[in-house]
Amino acid sequence: MIATPKLYCAALVLALCAALAAPAGAQTPAASPAPAWSPPDASKLGDDAWGRLIRYGRDLQVNTPALIGPEQKDPALRYAGSNLTCQSRHLEAGAKKFGLPYVGVYGDFPQYRAREGEVGTIEDRINGCMTRSMNGKPLPLDSAEMKAMVAYIKFLSTGVAVGAPTAGRGGGAMKELDRPADPVRGKTVFADNCVACHGADGQGKRAGVVGDGKGYLFPPLWGPDSFNDGAGMNRLISAANFIRSNMPNGVDWQNPVVSVEDAWDVAAYVQSQPRPHKADLDKDFPVRTEKPVDAGYGPWMDGFDATAHRLGPFTPIRNAVKALAMKKQ
Ligand code: HEC
């Protein structure tokens, strides 16, 4: 049915308004609404081998410290080096739009990984998280835990074609600043928006007591029990977008609370704080022109120093890297 011109115009205006209200860079084209976001629910699966494995995969996301953390009763299963959960950043057990979800991730692997400079499997990727975000040890490839995580990621990717772009992946892609992010200003943003949960000292709040394996109500954002300096969350662009789309916890990408500018600055403040160090970071991104502009650790070949890579602005760095890559061809 063809709508009257008047109605048609009104619909167009509405679509335009919706597009303008969306955070910059949200991957929603103005005229066509994003496909429904409806990841499947693991609790609806039966009590069979598949259902049990998927639910174990989900439990590993949510109860990570008790199952594979440093306070797990069985020392052989202490793979994670911190008491964070996978869900600390893969929100809603990997099912939240722009909360670093797993939806659609399964079909991406194997894939070329710039960080390693070679093609990696989904197991390699998970172990990247284990040794960086979780500051721990790799899961053995034949372990029940690895099998359950891979199966759970496949389950959440149900219905997404291999190679299909999934709107809602990652943490978003908001506008960048044309000045360096400002950790001093970010400290004020932190005081106003984050300390209620993460604490003025950034150490979060335990669910119970040290040793009980219950992890945190609010995770620490720096210090010995946080992600290490090789983690994706330690890169400014990733962290600022994640914060803008998801923090304070409970916020969603369509109704952000922290402004774009504040998100960049508060991310810079969090990243200016001490955290565990991962060895051999200089071996990451062996093809240096593929190194992300916001990787805060060297070596770099683009002539920009550590501060520029940690705080931006990133366009001049991108241009320098592009020029370098052209020269090499
Ligand atoms: C209402 C409480 C609350 C507030 C306020 C809050 N957060 Fe969070 N934050 C959380 C929780 C809870 C999680 C972990 C999510 C989960 O476990 O489901 C989290 C996770 C995070 C993570 C990921 C940590 C990791 O290990 O990867 C970052 C980064 C973060 N918050 C930054 C911030 C910043 C910056 C602010 C202020 C702008 C903020 N948060 C405000 C509760 C909060």
Q: CATH number of the domain that 132 lies in? A: 1.10.760.10
Task: Please indicate, yes or no, whether residues 23 and 103 belong to a single structural domain of this protein.
Answer: no
Distance CA 298, CA 253 (A): 32
Task: Please indicate, yes or no, whether residues 112 and 89 belong to a single structural domain of this protein.
Answer: yes
Task: Please indicate, yes or no, whether residues 21 and 97 belong to a single structural domain of this protein.
Answer: no
Whether residue 129 is contained in a domain is answered as yes
Q: How many CB atoms lie within 10 A of CB 48?
A: 8
pLDDT at 62: 98
Judged by average pLDDT, the poorest of 20-29, 48-57, 97-106, 307-316 is: 20-29
Instruction: Say how many Å lie between the CA of residue 195 and the centre of ligand 1.
Output: 10
Binding pocket residue ranges, ligand 1, CB within 6 Å: 84-85, 87-89, 91, 193-194, 196-198, 218-219, 221, 227, 233, 239, 243, 247-249, 258, 266, 270
Q: What is the mean pLDDT of residues 64-80?
A: 98
Whether residue 165 is contained in a domain is answered as no
Write down which residue in 156, 189, 206 finishes a domain: 156
Nearest CA to ligand 1 atom 20: 88
Find out whether 178 and 258 touch, Cβ atoms under 8 Å.
no
Instruction: Say how many Å lie between the CA of residue 132 and the centre of ligand 1.
Output: 18
Find out whether 279 and 207 touch, Cβ atoms under 8 Å.
no
Whether residue 131 is contained in a domain is answered as yes
125-164 CB burial, b ≥16 within 10 A, e <16: bbbbbbbbbbbbebbeeeeebbbbbbbbbbbbbeebeeee
Whether residue 166 is contained in a domain is answered as no
Task: Please indicate, yes or no, whether residues 180 and 301 belong to a single structural domain of this protein.
Answer: yes
Pocket test for ligand 1, best of 217, 221, 245, 251 (most atoms within 8 A of CB): 221
Instruction: Say how many Å lie between the CA of residue 204 and the centre of ligand 1.
Output: 9
Task: Please indicate, yes or no, whether residues 28 and 56 belong to a single structural domain of this protein.
Answer: no
Asked if pLDDT for residue 31 goes beyond 80, the answer is no
Range of the domain at 139: 42-156
Site of tokens 């048609």? 8
* Whole-prediction pTM: 0.90
pLDDT at 34: 63
Whether residue 162 is contained in a domain is answered as no
pLDDT at 43: 95
Instruction: Say how many Å lie between the CA of residue 217 and the centre of ligand 1.
Output: 10
Q: What is the mean pLDDT of residues 303-328?
A: 94
Judged by average pLDDT, the poorest of 56-65, 139-148, 235-244, 319-328 is: 319-328
Task: Please indicate, yes or no, whether residues 119 and 146 belong to a single structural domain of this protein.
Answer: yes
Distance CA 286, CA 100 (A): 25
pLDDT at 23: 40
pLDDT at 68: 98
Whether residue 71 is contained in a domain is answered as yes
Provide the 8-state DSSP code for 164: -
| pLDDT grade for 33, boundaries at 50, 70 and 90 | low
Nearest CA to ligand 1 atom 27: 89
For residue 85, give every residue at least 6 positions away whose Cβ sits within 8 Å of its Cβ, in sequence order, or none: 61, 62, 63, 64, 65, 215, 216, 219
| pLDDT grade for 204, boundaries at 50, 70 and 90 | very high
Task: Please indicate, yes or no, whether residues 97 and 219 belong to a single structural domain of this protein.
Answer: no
pLDDT at 231: 97
Pocket test for ligand 1, best of 58, 83, 194, 227 (most atoms within 8 A of CB): 194
Nearest CA to ligand 1 atom 23: 89
Q: What is the mean pLDDT of residues 25-49?
A: 75
Burial bucket for residue 311 (CB in 10 Å: 0-12, 13-18, 19+): buried
Task: Please indicate, yes or no, whether residues 245 and 103 belong to a single structural domain of this protein.
Answer: no
pLDDT at 73: 95
Q: What is the mean pLDDT of residues 121-136?
A: 98
Max avg pLDDT among 3-7, 125-129, 286-290: 125-129
Higher-pLDDT residue of 167, 32: 167
In Å, how far are 25, 175, 176, 316 from 313, measured between CA atoms?
Answer: 17, 11, 7, 7
Higher-pLDDT residue of 190, 4: 190
Q: Which atom of ligand 1 is nearest to the CA of 250?
A: 1
Higher-pLDDT residue of 293, 329: 293
Distance CA 22, CA 8 (A): 21
In the chain, % of residues over pLDDT 90: 85
Instruction: Say how many Å lie between the CA of residue 32 and the centre of ligand 1.
Output: 32
Task: Please indicate, yes or no, whether residues 211 and 289 belong to a single structural domain of this protein.
Answer: yes
> To the nearest whole number, what is the mean pLDDT of the chain?
91
Whether residue 163 is contained in a domain is answered as no
Distance CA 167, CA 158 (A): 15
Number of structural domains, the chain? 3
Instruction: Say how many Å lie between the CA of residue 247 and the centre of ligand 1.
Output: 6
Task: Please indicate, yes or no, whether residues 121 and 63 belong to a single structural domain of this protein.
Answer: yes
Judged by average pLDDT, the poorest of 12-16, 104-108, 164-168, 321-325 is: 12-16
